[in-house]
Amino acid sequence: MDDSSILGLCPGTELRGAARVPGSKSIAQRALLLASLSGGRTRLAGLPGSDDVRSTRGLIESAGVRVETLAPAAVAVEGRPPGPERGWQASDPLLLGESGTLARMATAITGLCGRASGSFDLVPAGTLVRRTSAPLLRALRQGGVRMEPDDSLGWPLRVHPIGPPDTLSLVDPVSSQEVSALLVALSAWPGEHLVRVEGALPSRPYLELTRSMLRHFGVRVTATPGDASLYFELRGGLRAPEEPITIEPDASNAAVVLAAGCLSGGEVEVRGLGSGSSQGDVRIVDHLARFGCETEALPDRLRAHGRPTREVLLNLHDEPDLAPVLAAVAAAHAWEGGAGTLLTGLGTLPLKESPRIDVLAHGFETAGIACESGPDFLRVGPRQMGEVRDVVLDPRADHRMAFAFALLGLVRPGVRVKDARCVNKSWPGFWSELQRLGARVSGT
């Protein structure tokens, strides 16, 4: 690995201004996949250039969907709705990249919307090889989809399509993406369909994001609670929207730069993303305010400034992607004398691109900040006294770990991040954008 892949942010400069945050990869991936299954031509603008979104476009094109580039961040998608001798088809493997969202949705779509005369090979890369989705695969198999190997819990996977069952049951989901995947696939078929979910549903705001995107394509999903179950009913038949869909800034990435403004003693705002967003991670302003930072959520922008001044107890069950950012805020506060912060509701973090609780705890301890962790919690702080030495922290090829360690460097001197370009998964321009806002980047 060359030195250019080891980068860090340095203390002593204030970040100020309006941050240029790329479009939401969560919205963009859902929009591309729904457009690929819709009748008609869908126009999308504001697409981010992240690895996950590029993988999504590449996959639907490999499945026979025509995608026309209209501008650097705008495309038109000609949908291939399912039906007899219709729908997705592929002679070559479908490449998933490292995206868990894409893997789960592509598995459901190929199983329920693919051309019945064919099969699909779903091929993962990088960290996705280690990830699983047993509840989703079990639900699809019970619905009649055949997969090889027949005992696989993840990817790679060969999928043999069937038509859609009227009802699918998902038991103890490990991610809201599993519910979203079934809803997206079933929504492509006309008629009424039902998804029954038993057990707790993690990361609920991401499911609400899926429901919001489905409304753009003419499908409404009704959620009805039952005895120990939740029922999602929909009438399918996706239709391309008449007006273009513009992808708003990514709230998870906005959280990173808003936290950076606070930790640096500056002030940062993100325009085009506001209090009415369907992205649950706009709650970053609420969580930063709990730390004592000054925040503002307007209909068209988010703003934050002021260093953290107190330790807090946060339950992040609904916003797990905010945990690395807020753990970094807690670590920075502990470095400056805070007693310690407890983050709970982290049960899905070990199933992400890396075992995130362990990676965060190891990184912060290496930097001199005490941590205590368990299967669903992380306690950060206080600072451990001793020599302050330069450290290179390993994000384990996980973009959100790289963001967290970079944020710590705004307060704790001498922090650099190994494999710093892994941020390309969601934000290829991260390091240069923070530099534009005033950060000093070491290693460049």
Burial of 84 (0-12, 13-18, 19+ CB in 10 A): exposed
Of 190, 206, 233, the last residue of a domain is 233
User: What residues contact residue 134 under an 8 Å CB cut-off, 6+ apart?
Assistant: 153, 154, 174
The residue range of the domain holding 85 is: 25-233
Residues 302 and 211 in one domain: no
Residues 262 and 365 in one domain: yes
Distances (CA, A) of 304 to 87, 108, 263, 372, 436: 46, 39, 10, 28, 17
Residues 315 and 258 in one domain: yes
Residue 5 has pLDDT above 60, yes or no: yes
Joined together, the tokens standing for residue 252 give: 């998870």
The total number of structural domains that make up the chain: 2
Instruction: Give yes or no for a contact between 403 and 444, defined as CB atoms under 8 angstroms apart.
Output: no
Mean pLDDT of 142-170: 95
Looking at 23-37, 161-175, 319-333, which range is the least confident one? 161-175
Phi then psi dihedrals of residue 292, to 5 deg: 100, 0
Residues 16 and 32 in one domain: no
Of 203, 233, 263, the last residue of a domain is 233
Amino acid at 135: P
Look at residue 79 and tell me if it is in a domain. yes
**227 vs 49, more confident:** 49
Residues 273 and 174 in one domain: no
Residue 14 has pLDDT above 90, yes or no: yes
Strand order in the sheet with 341-344: 313-315, 341-344, 377-383, 369-374
Residue 309 has pLDDT above 70, yes or no: yes
What residue has token string 């979203």? 180
In this prediction, what percent of the chain has a pLDDT beyond 90?
94
Give the tens place of pLDDT for each residue, 228-243.
899 999 999 999 999 9
With cut-offs at 50, 70 and 90, classify the pLDDT of residue 262: very high
Residues 209 and 253 in one domain: no
Residues 347 and 395 in one domain: yes
Cβ burial 123-146 (10 Å sphere, 16+ → b, else e): bbebbbeebebebbbbbbeebebe
Closest CA to 176 of 143, 153, 142, 210: 210
- In a 13 Å sphere around the CA of 157, the CA atoms on its Cβ side amount to 29
Amino acid at 1: M
What pLDDT is attached to residue 86?
87
With cut-offs at 50, 70 and 90, classify the pLDDT of residue 444: low
What pLDDT is attached to residue 127?
92
Catalytic, out of 321, 358, 390, 398? 321
Mean pLDDT score of the chain, rounded to an integer? 96
Residues 69 and 207 in one domain: yes
In this prediction, what percent of the chain has a pLDDT beyond 70?
99
- Pairing of the two strands 120-124 and 94-97: parallel
Look at residue 421 and tell me if it is in a domain. yes
What pLDDT is attached to residue 96?
98
CATH assignment at residue 318: 3.65.10.10
Question: How far is Cα 181 from Cα 210, in angstroms, rounded to an integer?
Answer: 9
Mean pLDDT of 298-312: 97
With cut-offs at 50, 70 and 90, classify the pLDDT of residue 404: very high
Mean pLDDT of 377-403: 96
Mean pLDDT of 127-156: 96
Residues 369 and 409 in one domain: yes
Look at residue 344 and tell me if it is in a domain. yes
Question: How far is Cα 41 from Cα 331, in angstroms, rounded to an integer?
Answer: 48
Residues 13 and 93 in one domain: no
Residues 329 and 376 in one domain: yes
Joined together, the tokens standing for residue 216 give: 């753009």
What pLDDT is attached to residue 226?
84
Closest CA to 364 of 329, 312, 318, 320: 329
What pLDDT is attached to residue 3?
45
- pTM of this structure: 0.94
Residue 328 has pLDDT above 50, yes or no: yes
Closest CA to 414 of 2, 14, 10: 10
> Which residues on adjacent β-strands are paired with residue 75?
44, 69
Residue 1 has pLDDT above 80, yes or no: no
| Catalytic residue flag (residue 321) | yes
Look at residue 240 and tell me if it is in a domain. no
Mean pLDDT of 370-392: 95
Joined together, the tokens standing for residue 374 give: 């368990």
Residues 219 and 253 in one domain: no
Residue 2 has pLDDT above 90, yes or no: no
